[in-house]
C-alpha cells in the first residue's frame, strides 16, 4: 500500500489569500506543521453524526479515518484530495510554477524515475495544469559548503575527487538526470534545475547532460558570500544561482509514523509499531518514505505566491487494513 500525504494549499487560511515571498519557515518545519494542520482540518470537517456512527470521539480516532481519507487502488490519500477543485484562480500563463523534488536517503536509485513521474503527476492534477516551469531536484547526501567550493579544484587534483561523491554516486546523478531529460522533452517540465552543486561538481556534471540545468539552488547557511568560482562558472554557462532555506533532511525517519500513529498528536491511521497487537482498524507494517515534493505557483505580474503545498509518499510493507 502507498500512503500519499498532502498539505493542500498552505497559503489559504479560511479562504483564498496570497502571501508574499519568502517563507520564514524551514521546509521541514513547514512541511510537518502543514501536514498536521491539514489532517486536523479534515478530521474536524467530518459531520458529527458520521463520527458518532463510526464510534469515533476525538480527532485521532482511527475508526473514523475512512471519513476523511480516500482509498484508490493501492493508494491511501491522507487526507482525501479533491482533484476536481480548481487549483489556480487565473489562466496558466499568469503563473510561474516551480517544483522541488527531494529524493530521500536509502531509497534505491532505480526508483527515482518512477518517483519523479508520480510526484509531477500529483502536482499537475492538483494545480490543473499540463506542465510546470521549473523542476529542481535535491539529491540525498549532497550539501553545499561555500568554503569547500573555493578549494574544490585543489582538493580534487590529488585524490581523484574526494570532495564530492564516489564514482557510483556520481553515476546515479547522471542516470537520474536522463529520466528528467525525457520528461523535459515530453513538455511536462520546461526547465530543469539542481541543488547544492559546487563549481567542480557542476562542471563535471554538465559533461554528461543533453539538457543543461537552468538553475543551481544553494543553501547559504550563514548568509555567506557565494564563492567567486561558482558565480563565474554559472554566469559562463548561463545557469541562474538561487538560494533557499530548505532542510536537507526534510522528513526524518519515523516522522510519518509519529504523524499518522495513534495518540493525542497522531492522526490515528497507523499502528504505533509494525507488529503492534490490537488496534485492529489501524494500518500495520513497516513505513518507508519514498519522496517529498514541494510546489509553488507565483503570480508573475504581482510576485505573490497563490498556491503552495507539499506531497509525500510512503510505502507500507505487510500492511493490514480493513
Cα angle value 247/251/252 (rounded, 5°)? 100
Q: Calculate mean pLDDT across residues 115-133.
A: 97
Percentage with pLDDT > 70 across the chain: 78
Q: Calculate mean pLDDT across residues 303-314.
A: 96
**165-189 burial: b if 16+ Cβ within 10 Å, else e:** beeeebebbeebbebbbbbbeeebb
- Picking from 25-34, 150-159, 276-285, which range would have the lowest pLDDT averaged per residue? 150-159
- When pLDDT is cut at 50, 70 and 90, the band that residue 14 belongs to is very low
Residue 20 CB coordination number (10 Å): 10
- When pLDDT is cut at 50, 70 and 90, the band that residue 271 belongs to is confident
Distance CA 33, CA 66 (A): 22
Q: Which of 219, 228, 227, 255 is nearest to 29 (CA)?
A: 255
Give the chain's mean pLDDT. 83
Q: Calculate mean pLDDT across residues 91-120.
A: 97
Distance CA 281, CA 150 (A): 56
> 171 is written with which cell numbers?
553515476
CA distance to 11, 153, 202, 207, per residue, from 159 (Å):
48, 11, 18, 20
Distance CA 37, CA 48 (A): 19
- When pLDDT is cut at 50, 70 and 90, the band that residue 16 belongs to is very low
* Phi and psi, residue 143, nearest 5°: -130, 150
Tell me: pLDDT of 20 over 50: no
Q: pLDDT, tens digit, for every residue of 138-181? A: 999 898 876 666 544 444 433 433 344 456 689 999 999 999 99
Amino acid at each position: 500500500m502507498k500512503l500519499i500525504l498532502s498539505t493542500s494549499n498552505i497559503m489559504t487560511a479560511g479562504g483564498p489569500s496570497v502571501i508574499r515571498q519568502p517563507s520564514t519557515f524551514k521546509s521541514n518545519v513547514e512541511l510537518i506543521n502543514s501536514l498536521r494542520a491539514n489532517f486536523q482540518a479534515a478530521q474536524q470537517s467530518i459531520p458529527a453524526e458520521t463520527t458518532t456512527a463510526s464510534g469515533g470521539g476525538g480527532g485521532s480516532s482511527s475508526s473514523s479515518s475512512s471519513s476523511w481519507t480516500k482509498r484508490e487502488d493501492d493508494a491511501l490519500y491522507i487526507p482525501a484530495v479533491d482533484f476536481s477543485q480548481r487549483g489556480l484562480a487565473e489562466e496558466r500563463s499568469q503563473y510561474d510554477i516551480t517544483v522541488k523534488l527531494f529524493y530521500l536517503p536509502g531509497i534505491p536509485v532505480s526508483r527515482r524515475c518512477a518517483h519523479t513521474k508520480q510526484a509531477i503527476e500529483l502536482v499537475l492534477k492538483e494545480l490543473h495544469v499540463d506542465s510546470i516551469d521549473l523542476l529542481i531536484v535535491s539529491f540525498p547526501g549532497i550539501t553545499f559548503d561555500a568554503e569547500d567550493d573555493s578549494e574544490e579544484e585543489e582538493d580534487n587534483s590529488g585524490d581523484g575527487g574526494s570532495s564530492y561523491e564516489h564514482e557510483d554516486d556520481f553515476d546515479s546523478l547522471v542516470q537520474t538526470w536522463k529520466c528528467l531529460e525525457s520528461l523535459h522533452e515530453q513538455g511536462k517540465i520546461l526547465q530543469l534545475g539542481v541543488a547544492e552543486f559546487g563549481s567542480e561538481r557542476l562542471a563535471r556534471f554538465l559533461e554528461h547532460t543533453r539538457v543543461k540545468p537552468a538553475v543551481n539552488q544553494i543553501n547559504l547557511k550563514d548568509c555567506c558570500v557565494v564563492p567567486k568560482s561558482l558565480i563565474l562558472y554559472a554566469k559562463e554557462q548561463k545557469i541562474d544561482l538561487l538560494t533557499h532555506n530548505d532542510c536537507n533532511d526534510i522528513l526524518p525517519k519515523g516522522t510519518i509514523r509519529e504523524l499518522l500513529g495513534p495518540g493525542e498528536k497522531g492522526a490515528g491511521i497507523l499502528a504505533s509499531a509494525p507488529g503492534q497487537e490490537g488496534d485492529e482498524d489501524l494500518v500495520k507494517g513497516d513505513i518507508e518514505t519514498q519522496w517529498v515534493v514541494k510546489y509553488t505557483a507565483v503570480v508573475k505580474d504581482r510576485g505573490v505566491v497563490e498556491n503552495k503545498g507539499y506531497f509525500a509518499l510512503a510505502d507500507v510493507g505487510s500492511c493490514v487494513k480493513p
